[in-house]
Amino acid sequence: MVDLTEQNISEITLLVEARGVEMEELSYDLVDHICCMIEEKMESGLNYASALEESMSSFGKKGIRHIQEETTFLLTKNILAMRKTMHITGITSAVLLLFATIFKIQHWPGAGVMYVLGVASLCLIFMPIFLTVRVKEKIGKPRLWINIVGTISAFILCFGILFKIMHWPTANILMTSGGIMIIFIYLPLYIFNYYKNKELRTNTVITTVVAIAGASMLFSLVNLRGNSHIVRTSILNMQYTINNDIAASNKTNTSLLALIEKDSIADKAFQQVNEIALSINKISHDLNFDIAKSYHTELSDDEIKTILKENYTLISDDKGDLISLRKEENGLVELMILVDDYQVAYKKITGTDANLKLNQDNLDYYLKSENTQFPLGIVVHDLSYLNLQIQRLHSGLLQYYKGKVS
């Protein structure tokens, strides 16, 4: 078996490069192929010089250059196709996120779906293609690492923002991790590599300042726990207290009702007012569920009920569909009729006015057909507080009946 010397291989490499091959990988492959051809010819009896001449002439005068041009064209065509895909997905992602933001501000349905599609398109299609194109462009290791770190940081940060918008867990962890990578890894690499270039120095400083300012503002929006946090906590505590008080009143009423029925002191008037109180309790809960579900159609019934009971602030800023309150059966109109009936029955039994504190302006607003949306938090609070007053009033009425026997 014939083996070529290092000097022979160097000579072949120089000949290949002299014929216009500039790509390192292509040059290596061609040299390897030509060496195999020469070794095969030398085994057939030719000397090295003759085998070299025949092998090189087999490509023709412009054959090797043509291979270089064809390879460059194919690679360029591939990169151009990837760039086109990158541009399309980038524009699509931007448009989806823009419309998602508009829908979110206007509290229109579909915002969540568009946010998910926009971020998925941006992070799972646009960013990987962008990084692949940068790798193929052979921009050098320092700049390549800058692009890799920047892409990973942006990937984590974008998903963190998506999780925050959708109220999914681990949002703060993702946003904090992405922000830390940008500030403490990406920016130092970026500054170190670009600040040395006098022509790029000004742009480097401007980009760094904008990035730090933007990251700082983003962190303040995510982690700032000032007055807004206190207000939201107060709202949550207030609604949580109302829910607990309603549950406690219902439990008390059930116990008192059992004692009254046991003593057989419940007359027709009492039975009627008790049925009204139970209906008010049921309809108010159902209406709260209906208006919350009208906006958050993506959540299950159990998730809606849990949020209304335990994590009210997750939906308090959203706008619900007031049409869901205006249904013919067990709607807000029927609820208000029952409230009026209860007050009349209460006065007839006790001789005193009920003195309910109703947010009448809001309740009238909910019933007007031209009004279509209203903040969920306010609607839920109005209906819950109305129900609480009725149930507390009914507790007093049950105590009154119980006292008639004692």
Residue 289 amino acid letter: F
- Residue 406: is its pLDDT beyond 60? no
Separation between Cα atoms, residue 363 and residue 258, nearest integer Å: 34
| Number of other CB atoms surrounding residue 323 within 10 Å | 15
Instruction: Name which residue leads in pLDDT, 72 or 175.
Output: 175
**For the chain, how big is the Rg over CA atoms in Å?**
37
Q: Is this model's pTM higher than 0.85 or not?
A: no
pLDDT of residue 222: 56
Cβ-count burial of 65 within 10 angstroms (0-12 exposed, 13-18 middle, 19+ buried)?
A: middle
User: How many residues does the structure list for the chain?
Assistant: 406
CA angle 112, 307, 304 (to 5 degrees): 65
Segment 312-348, tens digit of pLDDT: 666 777 778 899 999 988 899 999 999 999 999 888 8
Nearest CA among 316, 315, 333 for reference residue 324: 333
**Distances in whole angstroms, Cα of residue 24 to Cα of each of 70, 134, 138:** 15, 18, 12
Separation between Cα atoms, residue 284 and residue 390, nearest integer Å: 11
| Residue 277 pLDDT level (bands cut at 50, 70, 90) | very high
Q: Strand (E) positions, 183-333?
A: 319-321
Segment 234-269, tens digit of pLDDT: 666 777 788 889 999 999 988 888 887 776 655 777
| Number of other CB atoms surrounding residue 307 within 10 Å | 20
Separation between Cα atoms, residue 16 and residue 35, nearest integer Å: 11
Three-state DSSP state, 373:
strand
Segment 373-389, tens digit of pLDDT: 888 888 888 999 999 99
Separation between Cα atoms, residue 49 and residue 384, nearest integer Å: 98
Own/partner long-range contacts of 334-337 (Cβ < 8 Å, ≥24 apart): 334/283, 335/280, 335/283, 335/284, 335/287, 335/383, 336/363
- What is the end-to-end Cα distance of the chain in Å, rounded? 118
pLDDT of residue 233: 60
Residue 280 amino acid letter: I
Residues 6+ apart with CB under 8 A from 282: 330
Q: Are 397 and 255 in contact (CB under 8 A)?
A: no
Instruction: Name which residue leads in pLDDT, 306 or 263.
Output: 306
Segment 35-54, tens digit of pLDDT: 888 888 888 888 888 888 88
Three-state DSSP state, 318:
coil
pLDDT of residue 226: 45
